[in-house]
Structure 1
Amino acid sequence: MRTVSEPDQPEQPPNERPTADSGSQRRTRAETAENRRPRQSAPVDNDSLGPAQRVAPTWTEPLAAELSKPFGGGLGRHAQIGRQWFWTPLRVILLLAVLLLASGWLLKAPCTQTYETGQGHQSVDWRQHRQYTALCYTDLIPRYEKGDLASDDAFPYKTSWVENRGTPQQQVRYMEYPVLTGLFQWVNAKFTDGWTSLAQYGLLPTSASSVVYFDISAFWLACAWLVTVWALTRLCRFRIWDAALAAISPLVFVHAFTNFDALATALATTGLLAWARRRVGLAGVLLGLGAATKLYPLLLLGPVLVLSLRAGRIREGLRCLIAALGSWLVVNLPIMVLFPRGWWEFFRLNNTRPADPDSLYNALMHYTGWAGFDGPLSHGEVPAVLNAVSFALLLTGCALIAWLGLSAPVRPRLAQLCFLVVAVFLLTNKVWSPQYSLWLVPLAVLAVPRWRLLISWMLVDAAVWAPRMYYFLGTSNKGLPEGWFLGAVLVRDAMVVVICALIVGEILRPGKDKVRRTLTADPHGGFLDGTRDRFVLPAPSLPDRLRIGRASSPVPSRPPRTS
C-alpha cells in the first residue's frame, strides 16, 4: 500500500518563503500574525477559502508579476484577501472574458458586411475573398446558407440538398454535425426568421439573414464560453486566477465564433466540475451531452475510468460512463430512428475525409513528396488505410496514457490525463480544424497552469490562423504557399508535444506539480481525492533523475479511505 506525506504549505511570495523552519513553526508564526491583525468590518466574499489557502499569481508566476507592475505591482504582504464585496476574482475574470469575446466578434465583423444585390436583397459581402484577406472567416455564415437551415420548412437530418449539382462530384448532403449542434443551429435559424419578420415592420434593425443568424449564434456561443470560464473558476478553487488564462486566451479571440466548439467546451468543463463535486451521475450526463455536440468530451471518460480503477472506485467510474451513454442516446436515438440517413452523415463525412490541411499527415506528404497511405483518391473515396493508421495510433496513445495512469509512482491528477488524451487525439487524427484547439484550453489551465508556457502556446496556435487564411487565398491571389502554413502547423504541434512532455514529467515527479502544492492532491478528483491506491501496475525501471520517493507526493486534503 502506498503511503503519502504531509501536505506542502501554500505558495508564498519569494521574499516570504521559509528556509529551514519546520511546518509547525511556520503555522505558529502565521497564527500569531493573524491574531495581531486588527479586526476588519469589511464584508467578505462568499468564497470560503482563507488567505493562507489562496495562491496569488503575482507571487508564483513571473509573467503575472511583470504584468501587475503598471497597476501598482503584485499583492503586498499585508494585503487583505477576500474582502472585496463586488470585484471578486470571479467577476473580474468574467469581465475579462466578456471583453475578449467582444474583441473576437469584432474580428469577425468584416465578414458580416453586406451589399445590395441586383434584386434589392442584402447579401454578405465576401467578394474579393474578403473572408481570407480580412482573417474573418467563420463557418457560421455558410452553414446558414445551406439548404437545411435557410428554408422555412427545413429540419436538420431530414432536409437534404444537392452539392456540386451537374458535376461528377454531385452528391446529396445532410446536416454534417452531431445532433445537439445541428439542433442548436436549427433553433438559431428559427430565431433568425422571427427577427427578420419583426424587422420588416420596423421593430428591429435589419440586415442580411445570414448576418442576423451569425449574431444570434455568436451570442449563445459567447454565453457558452462564459460558462466554461465560470466552471474553470470553480475547478481552480485554490488557484482561481489561473482561469484568467482561458478568459484572455488568444485562441478564444480568434476561434470563439469560427465554429460551434464553445458548446462542447462548456459541457465538458461543467462535467469535470460535477465530477469534482462528487456528482457522478450529473458529470456523466454533461459529458454525454458534450459528446452529442462534439465527440471529444467522450474521450474524458477514459481517464475517469482509469483513475477510478486505480483508486478502487470503479463503481463511480462506471456510473459516470453509463450516465454519459444514456444522455447521448436520449439525444441521438430519436434522430437515429426517424432520419437514419441524415444522422449517419456526420460519420460518413468523417470517414471519407482525406488528411486535413492542418494534420501531421498532410505536412509529411508536403515535405517528403509522399503520396500518402492510400495514394491518390477520387472524390468521395474512403482513405481506408489512413483511417486505420490514425485509429491505431490513437489506441496506442490511449493505452500508453492508461498505463501511465496505473503505474505512475503517485496517482496522476484527472486533468493531466484528460489533456494528454485529447492532445493525442488531435495529434494522431487526420483532421485538426483550427477551432479544435479550443478543446485544449480549459484542460491545459487545469493540467499545467504555467502562465508563460500556456500563453506562448496559445499565441503560436492562434497565429496559425493567418497563414492558413492566406494559404486558402491561393498564390494566384497573392496568398502564401502551402509550406509557410504547414511550417506554422508544425510549430504549433511541437508546442503541444512540449506541454504533453511537461505533464508526463510532473506525473513522474509530482513534487514539480504546482497544483499539488495546494492543500489537496487532486482538486478535480472528486471521489478519487484522498483515497488509497487499490490497483497499480508495476512501473518500469527509470533513470535516477526520474526516480521519486514515495513520500515526495503532497497528501490529499482528507485522510485516505480505509474501506
Structure 2
Amino acid sequence: MLWTLLACAFTLLLGYLNKARCAAAPFDGAGRSTIFDSVKDSDVCYSDIQFLWLGRDIDLHVFPYLSGGITPDGVLTGGAVEYPVLSGVFMWLGALGAGDDAVFLRNSALLLAPFALLTAYLLVRLAGRAALLWAAGPPLVLYAFHNWELPVVCTAVAAVYVVATMTRYSLRTRGVIAAVLLGIGFCLKLYPGIFVLPLLLYVLVGEPAPGENPRAARPFDVRGAFAVAGAAIGTVVAVNLPFALAGYEGWRASITFQQLRQADITTNSIWYWGLRPLFGTAADSESTFQDVVSVASPVLVLAAFALAAWLGWRRYLLNGWYPWIGVSGAMLCGFLLLHKVHSPQYTLWLIPFLVLLEVPWGLIAGYLLADAAIGIGVFRYFYALGSGRSAQVMENVVQFGVWGRAALLVVFFFMFVWAKERGPLGVRGRVEAFELREPAPARF
C-alpha cells in the first residue's frame, strides 16, 4: 500500500514537471508564458489546463456558467466553458490567486493530485499490486495534469469500491451510494454516467450470499434498480439545476459546444483517420463527412452499449451473477472507439479497468505503446506540420497509435465482459467455485 502511494506521488511529480516546462517566466500582459506557443508541441509539454488560462475568462476569475454563451459557429464567450459544471468549478478554483498560467497550472495540479492518490489507494485495496499500473504507469505522467480527469476517474473507482467492499450494507444501499458517485462523475466528465445501466442490472439480479450457489434462484429487486436510477438522475439534477437557473445560456453552452465539435485532425479518432479519406476533396466533402459522423457515431455508441449489456446478461444466465464492472469497461471501450473525439487523456479513464480485470499484461503493454504513440507523437506531428518540415514519419506514428488503440479496444470490449476480477472484488470469491457451463434457471 505505502509503496504504491509513494510511487503514485513520484509519478505525479514527474507529470507536473513535464507540463511545467511550458509554463515559466517571462509572461505577457495576459499572464501567458511567452514560451508556451513555441515549445508546447515540439517539447510535448502542452496541457489543456495551461491553454485554457485564456479564452474562458479563467484569467479574469469569472465564476463559470453564470454568464456568457456560445456563438453560432461554436465559439464560447464570457464565463462559459466546454466541460460539465463540476469540472468548471475546478477550473475556477485553480485560478484563485493566480495571475499567470504557471501559477494556474501549479494550483490545478495541487487540487487534482489528491484524487490520483485516492484512486491509487482504492485500487490497491481492490486489486493489490496491479494498482501500480495506475500509480506508476506512463499515462499518469503524460496526462495527470493535461486536463481535469483525475476527479472523475476517482468517482468511478470509488463507486466500484463501495459496491465491492462495503458488504455490511445491503446491495441496494451500496448501489444507491455508488449511483450518487457516478452521478457526481457525470457532472465532472459525463462518462461515468454510462456505468449506471450495468450497476442497475447488477442490483436488479442481486448477488449470492456467502457460501450460496450463485445459480440459486433469487428474486429480482425491481425497487432497488429504480432506486439506483433515481439516485443517479437526482444527483445530476441537483448539481446542475443551480447553474441552469442562475445562468442558463452559459450552462447550456457547454452542451452545445460538444454537440458542435467535429471529427477533425485534433480528435485522434477512427472517424477522421479511417472514414474521412473516403469522402475525397470535393468542396462539400467535409460537410458531408461531418453530417455522416454526427449520426453514425452516436448510433454506433448506443449499439455498443446495448451489446455490452446483452453480453453481460448472457454471462449472468451462465453463472448466476451480472458482471457490472466488466460490462462498464466494455461500454467505455465502445465509447472510446466510436465517439468522434478520442483525446489522449481518456486513457486515464480506461486504466482502472485494466487494473480491476484480469487482462493479459502483454495486451496492456501493447495498449500503452499505442497510447504513447498518440500522447507523444500527435504533438510532434503538429509541430512538423506547423514548422513546414516533413510530417510523414510522425503521421505514421500517429496512425499506429490510432489503429493500435482501436484494435485493442475491440479486443478489450469482449474480454472485459468475460474477465474475472483481480482480487476479492464483490462476489468473485463466492462464484468461482460454482461457475458451471449450463445456463442458470430462467427467472421471468
Q: TM-score range with shorter-chain normalisation?
A: 0.7 to 0.9
Residue in 1 aligned with 2:217? Answer: none
Q: Is this contact kept in 1: 2:370–2:402, CA < 8 A?
A: no
1:320 aligns with 2:228: yes
Aligned with residue 49 of structure 2, among 140, 148, 165: 140
Q: Flag the 1:101–1:406 CA change in 2: closer, same or farther, 3 A.
A: same
Alpha-carbon spacing, 1:181–1:387, altered in 2? closer, same or farther (3 Å)? same
The SS at the match of 1:155 is coil
The residue correspondences of 1:40-439 to structure 2 (distance < 5 A) are: 90-115=1-26, 117=28, 123-126=32-35, 129-152=38-61, 154-160=62-68, 172=77, 174-190=80-96, 192-193=97-98, 209-236=100-127, 240-276=128-164, 277=166, 278=171, 279-311=174-206, 312-357=220-265, 358-370=268-280, 375-377=285-287, 383-408=290-315, 409-410=318-319, 411-439=321-349
2:204 partner amino acid:
L
Going from structure 1 to structure 2, the CA distance change for 1:180 and 1:479 (only over 3 Å counts) comes to: farther
Partners of 1:320 and 1:171 in 2: CA distance? 35
- Please name the residue that 2:215 is paired with: none
Which amino acid counterpart does residue 348 of structure 1 have in structure 2? T
SS at match of 2:380: helix
Q: Which amino acid aligns with 1:250?
A: P
Contact 1:147 1:161 in 2 (8 A): no
| SS of 1:114 mapped into structure 2 | coil
Match of 1:133, SS state, is coil
The AA in structure 1 aligned to 2:234 is G
Deviations 1:328-384 (A, max 9, x none): 111100111111111111210111111143111101135545579x83239xxx944
Deviations along 1:443-494, whole A, 9 cap, x unmatched? 2211234333323322321331222102222435136344542332111211
- Equivalent position amino acid for 2:247 in 1: F
Amino acid across the alignment from 2:134: A
Give the gaps of 5 or more residues in structure 1. 1-89, 194-207, 534-546, 554-561
Query: Aligned match of 2:399 in 463, 486, 495?
Result: 486
Q: Deviations over 1:77-122 (max 9, x none)?
A: xxxxxxxxxxxxx1111111111111111211211122255x7x86
Residue 415 of structure 1 deviates from its aligned partner by 1.7
SS of alignment partner, residue 149 of structure 1: coil
> How many angstroms apart in 1 are the aligned matches of 2:390 and 2:186?
37
Give the Cα–Cα distance (whole angstroms) in 1 for the partners of residues 82 and 49 of structure 2: 13
Deviation at 1:393, TM superposition (A): 0.5
The offset of 1:514, in angstroms, is 6.6
Tell me what 2:426 maps to: 524
Kindly report the root-mean-square deviation, in angstroms, between the aligned alpha carbons of the 2 structures.
3.2
Residues of 2 paired with 1:273 and 1:302: CA distance? 17
Paired amino acid for 2:426 = H
In 2: Cα distance, 1:285 partner to 1:476 partner: 45
Alpha-carbon spacing, 1:362–1:223, altered in 2? closer, same or farther (3 Å): same
Q: Point out the more displaced range, 255-264 or 402-411.
A: 402-411
Please give the secondary structure, in 1, of the residue aligned with 2:189: coil
CA–CA distance in structure 1, aligned partners of residues 385 and 274 of structure 2? 21
Percent identity over paired residues: 27
1:232 deviates by 1.1
| Helix, strand or coil at the partner of 2:52 | helix
Aligned mates of 1:449, 1:298 — CA distance in 2: 24
Q: Is the 8 A contact 2:305 2:331 kept in 1?
A: yes
Could you say which structure has the larger radius of gyration? 1
**Offset, 1:170:** 6.9
Match of 1:498 in 2: 411
Tell me how far apart the structure 1 counterparts of residues 416 and 36 of structure 2 sit (CA, whole Å).
Answer: 46
- The answer to whether the 8 A contact 1:148-1:161 is kept is no
Letter of the 1:218 counterpart: A
Q: Aligned partners of 2:357, 2:322: CA distance in 1, in Å?
A: 10
CA distance in structure 1 between the partners assigned to 2:377 and 2:359 by the alignment: 28
Match of 1:115, SS state, is coil
Aligned counterpart for 1:473 among listed residues 379, 383, 405: 383
Alpha-carbon distance in 1 for matches of 2:294, 2:244 = 24
Q: Aligned partners of 1:303 and 1:170: how far apart in 2?
A: 36
Quickly say closer, same or farther: Cα 1:459–1:318, change in 2 above 3 A: farther
For normalisation by structure 2, the TM-score amounts to 0.83
User: Any idea what the Cα deviations from partners look like across 1:223-260, whole Å, max 9, x if unmatched?
Assistant: 11111111112222xxx111111111211110111000
CA pair 375-455 structure 1, distance change in 2 beyond 3 A: same
Structure 1 CA distance for aligned equivalents of residues 120 and 421 of structure 2 = 20
How much does 1:425 deviate? 0.8
Residue 548 of structure 1: how far off its partner (Å): 6.9
Q: Contact between 1:449 and 1:514, CA under 8 Å: does it hold in 2?
A: no
2:353 maps to 1:443: yes
Q: Shift in Å at residue 394 of structure 1?
A: 1.3
Is 1:549 matched with 2:437?
yes
2:125 corresponds to which letter in structure 1?
Answer: R
> TM-score when scaled to structure 1?
0.66
| Aligned counterpart, 1:66 | none
The alignment covers a number of residue pairs equal to: 410
Q: What secondary structure is seen at the aligned counterpart in 1 of 2:40?
A: helix
Q: Aligned letter for 2:124? A: T
- Say if 1:414 and 1:524, in contact at 8 Å, map to a contact too: no
> Contact between 1:471 and 1:479, CA under 8 Å: does it hold in 2?
no
- Aligned partners of 2:7 and 2:136 also within 8 Å: yes
Whole-angstrom CA distance in 2 between matches of 1:346 and 1:287: 20
* Distance change (3 Å), C-alpha of 1:479 and 1:470: farther
Q: Which runs of 5+ in 2 are unaligned?
A: 207-219
Change (3 A) 1:155 1:294: same
C-alpha displacement of 1:161: 8.0
